[in-house]
Structures are given as structure tokens and as C-alpha cells.
Amino acid sequence: MKQGAQGSAGTGVPDLPAVAPRVPSQPRAEDVERERCAAPGAARGEHTHSEQPLPRPRHVVQRSSVRGQILDALRTALVTGELRPGEVYSAPALGDRFGVSATPVREAMQQLALEGAVEVVPNRGFRVVERGARELAELAEVRALIEVPVMLRLARTVPADRWTALRPAAEATVRAASSGCPATYAESDRAFHRAMLSLSGNEQLVQVADDLHRRAQWPLVGGPASRRRAELLADAAEHAALLDALVARDLDVVGALVGEHFTGAA
């Protein structure tokens, strides 16, 4: 990144226009999904350390559970590629983007650091971790080692009606894929997998698998920012096929589908 102009305080940080405090308003329910993937606009902030400007999201942050909402918004930005691998982002600049102070942003970024999505850069902010194809393959292997045996066990023991009850969750992933929004699909996809694994009764397993799943959804360095709509639809279609195999207790098909699903970065 290019070195910014010398600021008035001599800090090396460029002076930016002052931003008046904003009190976010309640978003309309019908706008929520559309706004998750809205076209980017101009972003402003202060103390950005010459980082590239980010689009300002159209959805707004409410006063309650600010940290949680910021965390969700940052996770969405990771999945869509708005937060680019290798780039450093400061808490004040991100706070200005969302119309909040730097504190909840910093807290949310610390959580993302624990999850391995970003790393702390002293006196600058947080760098988005750069992932390559090898890490994605390793995540797929670990997920398969954990989930394939569990799914095969569940296929032998869980009644067919319990799998049938998951049809709405599978259909929800198809609708999410049809939207073409990678963040919307990512959430729906994880919800379906959590619902299946929850039938094991092992909450620790569900949490570990969900963390691995989330990490598998982050974009690769040098790769496309997000998966295309056709890829999302193909991925979602595998959910229905998996449920069919589970209802039929076809263990060979269950094992093959679960393993192949991971290699597609599901």
C-alpha cells in the first residue's frame, strides 16, 4: 500500500474529514437480506494507516448487542471478500464504517483473532490472515475425519423421520444459494450441518465442527472473492441427496457424499 500524506499532527496518518456521530436507525425486515449483499459505496474513517477504503454497509447496527452485531458484520465481510487477505484494518476506521466507537470493533476483532481469521498488528490494527489451497485441503481432511464417522453412526441409529424433519433446513440452503449472496448461503449452510450433527447429542462436536466449517468458508489468497451462484446451487443440492441417503440408510452413499461435500469447501 502507498504511504499516506503527512498528517497535521505529524503522525504520518493522513487527515480525513471529520465524521459526525451517527445514531443508527432500525432497519426494515424486508431490507435485511438485500442489504447483506448491497453494492459497495464510499467509506470514510480516521486513523486508517493508509489502508484501502471499505464500502460502507447499508445495514445499520443497533445499540443492543453491538459487539455481536459487529462480529456478524465482520464475518460477513470476510466471506464476501470485502475484508481482503493480507490487508490491515484499524478499529477506528471500521468503527466509523459501522457508525460505532472503536471499542466494540476491537472486541469483535479480538474474537476473530481467536478464531484464526485475523492477526493483531501492534499499533496498527488487524491483518486478515492469508489462506492458501493447502490450508483449505487440510480443513477438509480434518472435517472428514471428524464428521464422516459421526454421520455413518447416525445413519445407523437415527430414525428416518428425524432426517425427514431436516428437509426445510435443506430447502433453506437452496433458497439461500439462489440469492447468489455468499454470506447468506454460508449461514444457511452451517445451520443445516449443525442441525444434522446436533442429532449426535454432542455439543462439543457441534461447536468444533462449526468452527472448522466457518474457517473453510473464508476466501483464498489470489482466488475469487466468493463462489459463484451455480457453485452454491450445486453445493445446496447435495444436502437433499444426503438426506435421501440417510433416510434410506445407504451407508456407502452417505460416506461418499459427506467426504465429497467437504472437498467442495461446503
Confidence (pLDDT) at 48: 52
Tell me which residues of the chain have a pLDDT lower than 50. Answer: 1-30, 32, 39-46, 63-64, 265-266
Of the candidates 79, 71, 38, the residue with the CA atom closest to the CA atom of residue 182: 79
Confidence (pLDDT) at 52: 61
Confidence (pLDDT) at 203: 96
Q: Please name each of the domains of the chain with its CATH number.
A: 43-128 (1.10.10.10), 133-263 (1.20.120.530)
**116 to each of 9, 144, 149, how far by Cα in Å?**
34, 20, 26
What are the pLDDT digits (tens) for 114-146?
988 999 999 899 999 988 888 888 998 999 999
Confidence (pLDDT) at 62: 53
b/e for 108-138, b at 16 or more Cβ within 10 A? bbbbbeebebbeeeeeebbbbbebeeebbee
Instruction: Provide the pairing of β-strand 125-128 with 88-89.
Output: antiparallel
Residues 6+ apart with CB under 8 A from 112: 71, 74, 75, 78, 118, 126
Measured on CA atoms in the order 51, 221, 134, 213, is the torsion positive or negative? positive
Neighbours of 28 (CB within 10 A): 9
Q: Which residues make beta-bridge pairs with 128?
A: 118
Exposure of 144 in the CB half-sphere (CA atoms within 13 A): 18
Confidence (pLDDT) at 198: 97
Contact 45, 94 (CB under 8 A): yes
SS percent in the chain: helix, strand, coil, step 5: 55, 5, 40
- Rounded to two decimals, what is the model's pTM? 0.70
Confidence (pLDDT) at 240: 93
Confidence (pLDDT) at 260: 81
